[in-house]
Structure 1
Amino acid sequence: MVKKAENIIVGISIGDLNGIGPEVILKTFEDNRMLELCTPVIFANVKIISFLKKNLALDSSLHGIDSLEQIVLGKINVLNVWKEGVNLEFGKNDDVVGKYAIKSFATATKALKDKQVDVLVTAPINKYNIQSEDFKFPGHTDYLDKELSGNALMLMVHDKLRVGLLTDHIPVNEISNYLTEELLERKVGTIVKTLQQDFGISKPKVAILGLNPHSGDNGVIGDEEEKVIKPAVKKMFDLGQLVFGPYASDSFFGSLQYEKYDAILAMYHDQGLIPFKTLSFGNGVNYTAGLNRIRTSPDHGTAFEIAGKGIAKHDSFKEAVYLALDIYKKRNEYQELTKKPLKAKQN
C-alpha cells in the first residue's frame, strides 16, 4: 500500500542544541504546507524545543509525545528522548550538549532501523563534542554505516548535480593509501544502484575524477591514475557500466563537463565539496547513499557564529526534507517495479 504524503513519517535528530539546527528545523515546519507533505518527529525534549521556539519568535505548534505510538499525523511531534533540562549557551562548544545530540541521533537511527519512521533527516552536530566511550565515530555517516545494512557513501545533491566521495573524513596525506580498484568498483556500484533506485535513472553515466593534478599527466605527476583508476574504469566499462575518466578535477566543473553526467565520484572530501558548495549556493543536501534506509542532511554545519540570532537560512534543511521524501517515493516505485515481472504479450 502506498502511503499518503502526510503519512510519511520524517524522523529528525536535533543536532547540536547550541547551533542553528533547532532553528532551521522549526523554520522549515513553520510553513504549514510542509505538514501536508509529511509528519515530522523531532527527537529531543518538548520543553527545550518550546523554549527555543519562543526565543526565536516562531509560531510553530508543537505536539509533545513520550512514545512513537503517540505520533499525530499532520503535527510537529517532539519525542521526549530525555526529560531533564539542558543548559544552553548559543555558539558554545559544550560536551554535555554533544551527548544530547548523539542521544537524539542514536534514538532516531534506531527508530529508522525499526521502521518506526520512514526517513531520517539529521541536523548538524559538532564533531568536537560528540566523542565518548559509546560514540567513537567522526560523524553521522560512519555510525549509519555500522547500524544499517549496505555500504554508506556520501552523495552531495543539488538538482541534477550529484557528487559522491570515494573517501571522506580522512587526512589528505592518507588518501592514496585507501585508493584501490576494489574500493572504486564498490563505490561506483553504490552510485549506480542509488541513481537507479533512488533517482529513477535507468542507465546512469558516472564521471571519475583523478587524484593528482592533471590526472597525473600520464604518470609524470603521480601514478595512481595509471596503476589504479584507469584499470578500474576500463574494467567497469567493459562490464557494461557507463563509467568515464579519470578527469582533471581543476577544470572539470568550470568547463561544465559535469553537466554531461548523472553523478561524479571525487577522490576526497574537498575535491568534491568545494566545487559542489560553490555551485549549490547553500541549497545542497548530503544524502547517505548505499544503505537500506534513507537519510539526508543539510550541507552546512552548526554555524555557532550565528546561532540563537534568528538569522539562519533554512533552505538546505528544507531541501533535505524534500529529497528524503522524493527518494522514499522513488525507492518504493523501484521496488514495486522490480518485484513484479512483466507479463508476456498474448498472441
Structure 2
Amino acid sequence: MKALLSKAPGGPDTLILDELPDPQPGPGQVVVAVKACAINYPDVLIIEDKYQFKPPRPFAPGGEIAGVIETVGEGVTSLAPGDRVLGVIGHGGLVEKVAIDAARLYRLPEGRSFEEGAALLLTYATTIHALVDRGHLREGQTLLVLGAAGGVGLAAIELGKAFGATVVAAVSSEEKAEAARRAGADKTLVYGRAPFDKDASKALADQFKAALGPNGADVIYDPVGGDYAEPALRSIAWEGRYLVVGFPAGIPKLPLNLTLLKSCDVCGVFWGAFAARDPQANQAHVEHLFRLWEEGRIAPRVTETFAFADGGQAIARMAARQAIGKLVVRVAE
C-alpha cells in the first residue's frame, strides 16, 4: 500500500510517498481502507518532533480518518467488512490502509461524505470536552473564541450557540470573520498580527473588552496562545474560565496576578488524555455530537481538499495558519 511518510524530522516538504506492507488486523482490530484524512495542527508538530508524542520512524501523519472496513480481526463482532466508519487514531492516517482497534471507530451516518466524517471528531470532541467539562459553559453566558475560523474555532462557535451562549469570535482577517458569522457568531472582531509590544497588547485587551461588554467573557476558548493570551485574559469575567487548547502562536506566559484579581481559572484541555482516562464520559460526548450533527446544529466545514500525493501541502497550509475550517486529504475515491 502507499503511505505518505515522515522518515526524518522536518517540515511538510520532507514527507515521502512510499510503499509499505498491507496491515493485518490483530485481535480486536479491523483494517480500514482510508478514503479521507483530516489535517490538524498536531500534524504540523509531529513531523518536526515537536509534539508530545514522538512515534518511531517511518510513520505517516494524519490523526483522523474515515473509510471502509476491509477486514476484521479475531473477536470483532460490532463491525463488518463494508461498514463505513470514522475515527481518531493519533497519527498514521495518511495511508491507503490502517489497522486500528474496533473500539476506536464510529459508524459514519448515511448521507455523510468521507470528507465530512474525517473532519468531525477531533475538533468537536475536543471542544465539547473543553466547554462542558472544563469551561462549565451555561446558557446565557458569554464565550470568547480566539482563532475562531479554524477547525476547533468554528466548532466552538457552533457548540457555544447550541449550548445557549453569546459567542464573540476573534479572528485575523475579515474573510475569517465572515466564516465565523456564517457559523453563528453573535459578534466578531479582527485582531492584528503578533508579536505585540506593550502598547499593542493593551490595545488588543481594550478591543476584547469593548466587544465583550462590561461583564467580560465567562469562558475564553484559546487554541492560539502566544501574545494573544494575556490580552484575552484581561477581558475575562469574574470567576471566568480560561481554556488552554493550543499554541500555534507560541506558548504564552500569563501574569498570575490577573487570575487573583478576577478570581478566574486557567484550565488545560487535553481531550486525548480525557478520552483515554474516562471513555464512558467521552462516549457520551460523542453521542451528543452525533445528535447535534443529525439535527443540523453542527456541521464540519471542509473548505479545501487535497490529493493524496499533496498531503504535505495541506500540512504546510495549516502551519502557515491560512486554513479556514477543515483541510482534508482525499486518500482514495
TM range, smaller chain: 0.3 to 0.5
> Per residue, is there more helix in 1 or in 2?
1
TM value normalised by structure 2: 0.32
> Per residue, is there more strand in 1 or in 2?
2
TM value normalised by structure 1: 0.32
Q: Comparing both chains, which one has the higher relative contact order based on Cα–Cα distances under 8 Å and sequence gaps of 6 or more?
A: 1
